[in-house]
């Protein structure tokens, strides 16, 4: 960890159970994909506060680290989270982590394929977080824009993969395609922040 990260993480307060702790535990596991970094998680909570989001959709629950960050903000305004993952084992871990945090009633955790399950949802989400299979970023773009309400935010994680060494080039190809897609979409206004492995934010006009 560099000095900048170490310093800014001293400001990131914990919720219970701590998503920061889950992040550290997950980092040492070989059976799970990386969870959002504490600074990314804190930023997701910040976005919920900023736009007073009450309906949030997440693609890629894993064991619930980013979901806990969303709930840390949503618990204050009574909003709700729908989160989807196709790995049954992780889905059950997430249910347990969210239950232990007292968020069961505000979260609908769905076990299933993101494309299929998303097609069943009512539109009108305030914020959508795309963090599942990178190949799905460009593929699901149209579907997600349709589910987002005007004035809502589409947030995609890991979108600087294409310029990060050590990342499989085939994954970076998809995130690069996604960035080009959102930046050329006249319905959206987008920017990329170098937080974590890159966050692309798109505001729907
Ligand atoms: C990077 S992890 C998500 C991390 C999580 N958002 C967090 O920060 O704690 C990506 C997750 O997407 C899930 N995934 C991959 N392809 C999927 C699909 N087609 N439908 C649903 N989930 C999928 C994987 O099982 C994995 O748990």
> Which amino acids bring their CB within 6 angstroms of ligand 1?
33-36, 60, 62, 65-66, 84-87, 90, 113-114, 131-133, 136
Domains of the chain: 34-204 (3.40.50.150)
Give me the pLDDT at residue 17, please: 57
User: For residue 52, what are the contacts with CB-CB under 8 A and spacing of at least 6?
Assistant: 77, 126
Using CB atoms within 10 A of its CB, is residue 202 exposed (0-12), middle (13-18) or buried (19+)?
buried
In DSSP terms, 57 is beta-bridged to: 82, 128
Task: Convert the pLDDT of each residue in 24-73 to its tens digit.
Answer: 888 889 999 999 999 999 999 999 999 999 999 999 999 999 999 999 99
Distance from Cα 180 to the centre of ligand 1, integer Å? 22
Q: Indicate the pairing of strand 107-111 with strand 125-130.
A: unpaired
Cβ proximity of 190 and 180 under 8 Å? no
146/22: higher pLDDT: 146
């Amino acid at each position: 960890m560099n000095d900048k990260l170490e310093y800014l993480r001293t400001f990131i307060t914990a919720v219970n159970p701590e998503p920061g702790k889950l992040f550290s535990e997950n980092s040492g596991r070989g059976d799970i994909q990386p969870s959002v970094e504490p600074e990314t998680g804190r930023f997701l909570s910040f976005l919920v506060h900023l736009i007073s989001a009450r309906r949030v959709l997440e693609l890629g629950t894993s064991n619930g680290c980013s979901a806990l960050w969303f709930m840390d903000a949503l618990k204050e305004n009574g909003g709700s989270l729908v989160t989807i993952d196709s790995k049954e084992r992780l889905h059950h871990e997430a249910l347990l982590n969210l239950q232990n945090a007292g968020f069961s009633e505000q979260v609908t955790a769905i076990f299933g394929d993101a494309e299929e399950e998303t097609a069943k949802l009512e539109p009108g989400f305030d914020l959508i977080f795309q963090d599942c299979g990178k190949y799905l970023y460009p593929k699901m773009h149209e579907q997600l824009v349709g589910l987002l309400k005007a004035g809502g935010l589409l947030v995609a994680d890991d979108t600087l993969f294409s310029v990060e060494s050590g990342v499989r080039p085939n994954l970076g190809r998809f995130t690069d395609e996604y960035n080009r897609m959102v930046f050329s979409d006249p319905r959206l206004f987008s920017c990329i922040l170098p937080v974590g492995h890159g966050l692309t934010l798109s505001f729907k006009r």
